[in-house]
Amino acid sequence: MWRHLPAATQPTKLWIPSSQRELAFKFAHCQTHPRRRETKRLCKERYFWKGLPADVERFYKRYPICFQENNRRPRLALRPFQVPERKFAIVHIDLVSFGHDRKDPRYVYALTLVDRWTRYMTMCPLLDTTTKAVVSALEHNWIQYFGVMSILVSDRGPQF
């Protein structure tokens, strides 16, 4: 059913029966996974039914990944990067997981190292993500070839 309102008040909205409301929520939310307020706004723009804001809150809380991700601490403002004085002075480091369904199940992790100046990147396969394995990979795959960096930028994971 379509709800037609005078042009001055609101555009045409679709009335959603109670059996289809969660599906309408999924359609509005799951395309881009916006935050709670944006999801409410999208639903209010497209649909109407009695108790829509409360239903959107309830549906939103059923999706624990989105609920946790969007309710974390506030994001910090971006700051400009410091320009390095020389090659390989500032290096970014991170760990990547490839999952356990690979052909060689031993190497499911990789250490990524990226130089800020040249954007040169190295990936080192790892058996595990212990601090000892990360330090060993850093020594043998970066420091051995390019020397010790001035600044090492990480996401502050427990291995770093």
- Listed by start position, the domains of the chain span 10-70, 90-153
Residue 50 DSSP code: T
Which of helix, strand or coil describes residue 59? helix
Q: What is the mean pLDDT of residues 150-156?
A: 90
- pTM given for the model: 0.51
Name beta bridge partners: 15. Answer: 48
> To which CATH superfamily is domain 90-153 assigned?
Ribonuclease H-like superfamily/Ribonuclease H (3.30.420.10)
The predicted-structure confidence for 52-79, as pLDDT tens digits, reads as follows: 888 888 887 777 666 555 555 566 677 8
Return d(Cα 150, Cα 96) in angstroms, integer: 23
30-45 pLDDT, tens digit per residue, is 766 777 788 888 888 8
Percent of the chain with pLDDT over 70: 79
